[in-house]
Chain A
Amino acid sequence: MNSLGIYIHIPYCLHKCGYCDFNSHVAREKEMPDYVSALLKEMEIASNEMDIDSEIVSIFLGGGTPTTLPLELLEKILIRSRQIFPLVPDCEITFEANPASASLEKLSGLRRIGYNRISIGVQSFQANELVTLDRIHSPDEAVTAINWARQAGFDNLSIDLMFALTDQTPETWNNTLNKALALAPEHLSTYNLMIEPGTAFYGLQKNGKLKLPEDEQQLYYFQESIRQLTQAGYQHYEISNFAKPGRECRHNKIYWNNGNTFGFGAGAARYLNGQRSKNINLPSDYIRQIMQNGDATESTECLQTLDAMGETLMLGLRMLEGVNIPQFENRFKVSFHSHYQEVLKKLSRENFIKLTEDRLALTTKGLYLADSVIMEFMN
């Protein structure tokens, strides 16, 4: 059986945050029904072309903010997905939510329809940090949203947090982590703030109006997350992700295992049969192109074996369990140990990697320098 994930992009937000470089646009309610129609059309075309022995193990609605869509549109998406795709019985069905666009009613509705995992963008439990981050919700609203999600019946809940913020101190980060732990989510993501080109923060940083903590300090926050969350019984399973046993995000693990995924919607990326492609970003363009041609692909890349190998390691090494070597060898028809002999020797000697007969993983030291280590394997 060929297991796949489905990613569905909802490109609308109530407000674009200063650090955000995702494909998100201020919500236009009039456009939403057309957008969902286009989405369903794209999904139908894909399902017709899908291999017969495929099964769908996860659906992930990301954004933007999926919860900006009205309940009936979110319902439509899931119902249609069930009709046209072979979902496995315990399929993980996640949506991302913003505390500001959640309500008990909407969350209950979503749970009732069959969404079974919620990922809430909390970012911080400090009011001032949320203001600097340009978020439109308060810490209390975040707590309320989480409580509503529990009331609605979500027993698989994830919280996103961010560190290395301008006004953050070890105390405030500690406080945010503790508040998150008190809410006992099944899953936690802690992200180091990155300033991406094209964002408002990028401009501010360039003009000297935004100063991030020094590397050493950023590293401290990262180490604190690992220390506190693992102590609280979470497994650190990916660079920025922690989960209670068995609660890792199945969808994201497909990416890190460099597995096949569909991607539907404006700006969505997919990886099928060794080919990566991506849709056009602007929702109105996406709607028009799907409606006219049934396709809104903006770019396609066919990977050479060496690039695909590098990519597989780039993704796999992000997971603490690392890369399964026999699977890698089977996939690319190479001898792993001899192909990477020099690099492996060098990195082992410096204690950046752990190498066993069938797994390659980063050490703690290697984790902090993951990109430098990964680069050694790149072509």
Chain B
Amino acid sequence: MDKKNVRNFSIIAHIDHGKSTLADKLILATGGLQKREMKEQVLDNMELERERGITIKAQTVRLSYKDAAGNPYIFNMIDTPGHVDFSYEVSRSLAACEGALLIVDATQGIQAQTIANLNLALKINLTIIPVINKIDLPSANPEAIKEQLEDILQIEAGGAILTSAKQGIGIDELLQAIADQIPPPEGDSEKPLSALLFDAWYDAYKGVIVLVKIVEGTMRVGDPIYLMAADKTYQVEELGAFTPAQIKLDVLQAGDVGYVVAGIKELGQTKIGDTITNAKRKTPQPLQGYKEVNPMVFSGLYPISGEQYELLRDALKKLMLNDASFTYEAETSTALGFGFRCGFLGLLHMEIVRERLEREYHVELLTTAPTVVYKIVTTDGETILIDNPSKLKDIKNIEHLEEPYVRGTVVAPEEYIGTIMSLALERRGLQTKMEYLNPQTVMLQYDLPFNEIVLDFYDRLKSATKGYASFDYEFLDFRSSSLVKLDILLNGELVDALSLIIHKDKAYYQGRALAKSLKEQIPQQMFEVAIQAAIGAKVVARETVKALRKNVLAKCYGGDITRKRKLLEKQKAGKKKMKQIGSVEIPQEAFLAVLRTDGK
């Protein structure tokens, strides 16, 4: 088909504004699937995604559309991950498009993620079609939303499409608008090949499958291709598209979106944002915007029973095939034994990986509190990144420490301004912007240390605003900061897995809160347990778990013996699940004690 009839677009929205449902309806309306074949939200294909109602892995669908006048089109709908952890992936998916549908919930209006995602789309000059969804709801107020779009986002909203994805309202108008408003792709099929790699996943039968947008040139089955950032050469074995059913194609040319199978065995070789060119006729310039994604959040994953170490290692290796964005390396903790330090794009990503390890690989895990990466500048001018607070002790002649900052955007009803401001202040946030989206809704922006939000900021924000606030963030930079290492000692023994790096001004408070939280987590034992929080050699807090004084059953005669033995065996099994540090037994939950302090 002539590329002037091709439309490449994404759907961007705040979570729960109806993106997946709308995508389903577009597929149905264009006949990509019969109704009976539709599983709800076909694009979210992992069990976990479906359960959490979020999109982790982008999927791309090619739809055939005939407009009212009978003109045929090919729509490539590129689904984007909906969470901030994956914002780089979002930006690359968007880069494969010429336009985007901006969905806004007709009852909720603009939210933090709406703004963040729109900014990504505008940065690369996508044509935006505003879509106001859920207009069937009684509290829908499309006119007010249009005003918001125009006033706040400076988007012409007069022609916004009003839809109810759930009820199937406005779907035809939307399809026509896509055909009319989104420009066709540019590019010259005769030029040297230059294709944007915007997604990849591992398939057990075919190896790695990559999704590409051909920006310039042509790709044919049998062509030798060269992945520029990965510096690897392969041969194209198969080309095609998903409708969502898989169809094979012989050729992809400028403007097309499709998949490539090229005998790639490792997902690590297919870097999101990389440029694929023809190995024999290379493009002189790779596409712009490629960057290495680095994990931002780190946590130690340890098998609860040491016997599962091998199992965990194999599971991580296999998981890596499906998810190249997390990293792992073996580490040893004096407290927890052998495990792995894993890096994630963000907290949600961490939770997804942890859940998949437990669910799909049946490894029982102990997770240490997540930490961000800190930058250490030594007196020699050397820069060292550390992903584990306990590594700080190995570094001499520290000149200063730096911590990562993010720009956080909060959108909330204006009555919560005070609450949000004090929460942000508590978290060392620096307000950079405050704007009214309408008389009732305000948007606040802060520069925040990532460390301050990584644990529970969003939960606290939600509860402080009765669930009304939305939050999103993007990384800014590393900034110099007065940081110290806070250690926990149990009966005088340092528990490395509980160490954390924290701002000097908060260390005393956090030390006290952590000791108190641990006191609640550690059960009474046969002897006293002293919990100390220390900064360097200085103890800043002490709590004591008193020794158990009495634990003895009064009677044990003939009829009691079996029951008594089983009771003790059951208690013993519970004890075995605890980690032994010195002579102190610590339940797994205690390693997340830092999450249970109220975090001021």
Contacts and interface: CB of A to CB of B under 8 A. Distances in A.
A256 B552 CA distance: 15
Q: Which of B548, B558, B561 has the most CB of A within 10 A?
A: B558
Interface stretch (B39-47, B397-405, B483-491, B563-571): B563-571
A219 interface: yes
A239 B559 contact: no
A191 interface: yes
Interface string B547-559: 0111111111111
Chain A interface, >50% SS class:
mixed
A212 to B, nearest CB: 12
Contact of B561 (A23, A215, A276, A374): A276
A379 interface: yes
Q: Which of B550, B559, B564, B572 has the most CB of A within 10 A?
A: B550
A311 B565 contact: yes
B412 to A, nearest CB: 42
A276 B551 contact: no
Contacts of A256: 556
A240 B554 contact: yes
Closest 6 CB pairs of A and B: A370-B552, A192-B554, A269-B559, A191-B554, A219-B550, A371-B551
B554 to A, nearest CB: 4
B583 interface: yes
B527 interface: yes
Interface string A250-268: 0010011000010100011
B549 A311 contact: no
Contacts of B572: 375, 378-379
B563 to A, nearest CB: 10
Interface of A: 7, 22-23, 62, 191-194, 215-216, 218-219, 222, 239-240, 252, 255-256, 261, 263, 267-271, 276, 278, 301, 307, 310-311, 314-315, 318, 346, 350, 352, 367-375, 378-379
A194 B554 contact: yes
A316 to B, nearest CB: 11
Interface of B: 526-527, 548-559, 561-562, 564-565, 568-569, 571-572, 575, 583
Nearest to B556: A318
Nearest to B560: A269
A248 to B, nearest CB: 14
20 contacts: A22-B559, A62-B557, A192-B552, A194-B554, A219-B549, A255-B561, A268-B558, A269-B558, A276-B561, A276-B562, A310-B565, A310-B568, A314-B564, A350-B527, A368-B549, A369-B552, A370-B552, A370-B553, A373-B526, A374-B568
B554 A239 contact: yes
B558 A371 contact: no
B551 A370 contact: yes
A379 B554 CA distance: 22
A276 B558 CA distance: 10
Contacts of B564: 314
B562 A269 contact: yes
A375 B552 contact: no
A379 B552 contact: no
B530 to A, nearest CB: 15
B555 A369 contact: no
A368 B551 CA distance: 6
B550 A314 contact: no
A278 B559 contact: yes
Contacts of B569: 307, 310, 378-379
Contacts of A222: 550
A240 to B, nearest CB: 5
Contacts of B561: 255, 269, 271, 276, 311, 314-315
Nearest to A223: B550
A375 B552 CA distance: 11
Contacts of A278: 559, 562
Contacts of A315: 556, 561
Contacts of B583: 346
B553 A255 contact: no
Contacts of B527: 350
